[in-house]
């Protein structure tokens, strides 16, 4: 998604979810977040019910919904996504970086990291979308949004092999500059490859409460000693990561040994429109992008 960089902040509290170890202050670029399996039975998520996951989401700004997709179908989805990316590169071999250099079908957010809407009408990706829309993740999103939900968009985010980590960013702004309001838009991420040994999405838990006025809220959080360390949620093949548009997050360095595509379904309150993430000009004017 569109990166809006923010300053790094220290952390003092531990998250109560399955996460990966992340490098601390002063860690070198070779210190890569690595997800380690944990015993999910020890976590207070009430057997993964949508109500429990929604409660965790409201507190932390994210949650992980298990069993969203059949892990056996992910390879076909990965292949379809990479084929679509190859078509985009063939149409514009010198594609620039940033929204102004991008298209309604694809934007290269940073060198080697693409967000793409081209090719989502291919059968494996269409089937995955249908499955996600019938999953625990989608029901959790419906509960988070108080049963007022529309699909805002669908895309695949692809980090090429050895693509660097992103800057910390949010995907969208708060509705009010003076008070925290419930989530109005969120992402559902389904990795199409195994990311448990190659990083993934790193999140600063609870930061959706801070990004309304980051400098002021950060200072207050430091004083209250409520800052929390960044985490890489453990998302095993077939699981989905849900996170608030306003939470601080970033894609980590891709050390999976290959491309790291992630299927993304963005859902929002019916009145919300995202007008900033993709430009209007078309790379394939003869084909309409999938909404």
Q: To the nearest whole percent, how much of the chain has pLDDT over 90? A: 63
Work out the pLDDT band at 212, boundaries 50, 70, 90. confident
Note the pLDDT tens digit of each residue in 30-55. 333 333 333 333 334 445 589 999 99
Residue pLDDT, tens place only, 200-209: 999 999 999 8
The token pair that represents 159 in the structure block: 């980090």
CA angle 250-169-200, nearest 5°? 10
Check whether 275 has a pLDDT greater than 80.
Answer: no
Buried b (16+ CB within 10 A) or exposed e, 24-44: eeeeeeeebbbbeeeeeeeee
**Residue pair 266/187 in contact by the 8 Å Cβ criterion:** yes
146: left (phi over 0), alpha (psi -120 to 50) or beta: left
Helix (H, G, I), strand (E, B) or coil at 50: helix
The confidence score (pLDDT) of residue 215 equals: 62
pLDDT score, position 265 = 97
């Amino acid at each position: 998604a569109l990166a809006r960089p923010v300053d790094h902040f220290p952390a003092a509290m531990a998250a109560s979810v399955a996460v990966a170890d992340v490098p601390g202050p002063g860690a070198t670029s070779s210190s890569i977040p690595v997800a380690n399996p944990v015993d999910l039975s020890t976590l207070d998520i009430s057997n993964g019910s949508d109500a429990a996951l929604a409660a965790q989401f409201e507190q932390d700004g994210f949650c992980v919904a298990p069993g969203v997709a059949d892990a056996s179908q992910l390879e076909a989805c990965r292949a379809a996504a990479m084929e679509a990316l190859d078509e985009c590169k063939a149409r514009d071999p010198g594609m620039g970086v940033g929204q102004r250099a991008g298209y309604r079908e694809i934007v290269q957010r940073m060198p080697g990291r693409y967000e793409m809407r081209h090719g989502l009408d291919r059968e494996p990706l269409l089937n995955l979308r249908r499955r996600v829309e019938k999953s625990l993740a989608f029901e959790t999103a419906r509960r988070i949004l108080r049963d007022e939900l529309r699909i805002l968009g669908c895309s695949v985010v692809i980090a090429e092999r050895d693509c660097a980590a992103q800057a910390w960013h949010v995907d969208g702004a708060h509705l009010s500059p003076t008070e925290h309001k419930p989530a109005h838009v969120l992402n559902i991420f389904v990795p199409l490859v195994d990311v448990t040994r190659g990083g993934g999405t790193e999140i600063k838990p609870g930061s959706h409460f801070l990004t309304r006025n980051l400098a002021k809220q950060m200072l207050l959080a430091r004083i209250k000693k409520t800052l929390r360390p960044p985490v890489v949620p453990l998302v095993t093949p077939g699981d989905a990561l849900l996170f608030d548009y306003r939470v601080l997050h970033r894609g980590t360095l891709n050390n999976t040994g290959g491309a790291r595509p992630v299927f993304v379904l963005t859902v929002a309150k019916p009145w919300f429109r995202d007008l900033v993430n993709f430009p209007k000009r078309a790379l394939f004017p003869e084909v309409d992008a999938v909404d």
